[in-house]
Amino acid sequence: MKLYDVIVLTEDRYESPNDLNLYNLQVLLEDEYVVSALKDKGLKVERKSWSDPSVNWADTTCILFRSTWDYFDRFPEFSEWLDRVSDETILLNSKEIIYWNLDKHYLSDLENKGVNCVETYYLEKGRSVRLEDFLADLDIKNAIIKPCVSGAARHTYKLNSVTCADYNETINDLLQEEAFMVQPFQENIIKTGELSLIVMGGKYTHAVRKVAKQGDFRVQDDHGGVVLGYTPTEEEIQFAEKAVAACNERPLYARVDMIRDNANKLAIMELELIEPELFFRFYKPAADRLADVIAQRVQSVKSLTV
């Protein structure tokens, strides 16, 4: 008999933060929505840091990734932990989805399945590059460059045909350790922001619009961005659900980040399947929808072990 049906995963900073600032309170609130919704389904639930050495992960039926936002800074440790616990319990979303989604090369997979993504070029690990030549060959005047495995705008830079030479040394040093991606700068990031549509069990639940602060292009709230409620069009909903359906296996939850690209077509910026902020505070019933999907999974696992 398992001690828990679900452990909701966080990281050390957010397990029991001493500094209850607005950001930390927001993290705790979002996680609490999920914990409460799961408990309302009659499930035995606990919330733990993924890196807590005292936890026996075999004691839970499932673990649900929520606010594990330090994994890309501790990737070797996280990867070892992920491989180990995947043999002890069920990961939501699965290890296969996580490894696929960790690396932004997945955008090429989506394109190959007919899902329009922002135009993307890759600089593979170990390569040397002269950025001004690279952009000139592609006829790109303004670009974003960032690691293929990253988050929270880590090592994300906006370049143009004049300033890109200033980043050659930095990027070439980083390329010895990891691959990078280059995308033409998307003007609608500044004009209208980025849309995030949330999909649970393959179906749309709610959406937000993220807007960068004046003079910036990064929409994340830890870079001064603002999150607003948003009612998507039917076209946007269908596009989000199509993107999720194109995954190698259907994720239980997903956040589909999209814009209208420079050709004015809906395009995927990112498909967030690991630990996305799901903005339950904008639509609390989505936490209940997620709990429904997870409860069904837990019940199916229990029925197989009877």
Digit-coded pLDDT (tens) for 44-81: 999 999 999 999 999 999 999 999 999 888 888 999 99
Q: Buried b / exposed e across 258-281, counting CB within 10 Å, b at 16+?
A: bbbbeeeebbbbbbbbbbbbbbbb
Task: Give the residues across from 64 on adjacent strands.
Answer: 8, 92
Percent of the chain clearing pLDDT 70 (strictly above): 94
Over range 34-39, report the average pLDDT.
98
Q: pTM to 2 decimals?
A: 0.91
Average pLDDT over residues 203-224: 73
Cβ 271 vs Cβ 113: under 8 Å: no
pLDDT of residue 226: 84
**Mean pLDDT score, 243-256:** 96
Residue range 293-297: mean pLDDT, rounded = 95
Average predicted confidence (pLDDT) for the chain:
92
What is the predicted pLDDT for the residue at 153?
Answer: 67
Secondary element (H or E) of residue 240 = helix 234-245
How buried is 67 (Cβ within 10 angstroms: 0-12 exposed, 13-18 middle, 19+ buried)?
buried
Q: State residue 212's pLDDT score.
A: 73
Residue 225 has pLDDT above 90, yes or no: no
Q: Give per-residue pLDDT as tens, 93-113.
A: 999 999 999 999 999 999 999
pLDDT at 241: 98
pLDDT at 161: 85
pLDDT band at 170 (very low <50, low <70, confident <90, very high): very high
**pLDDT at residue 220 greater than cutoff 80:** no
CA distance 212 to 111: 27
Least confident of 64-73, 212-221, 242-251: 212-221
Between these two residues, 190 and 305, which has the higher pLDDT value? 190
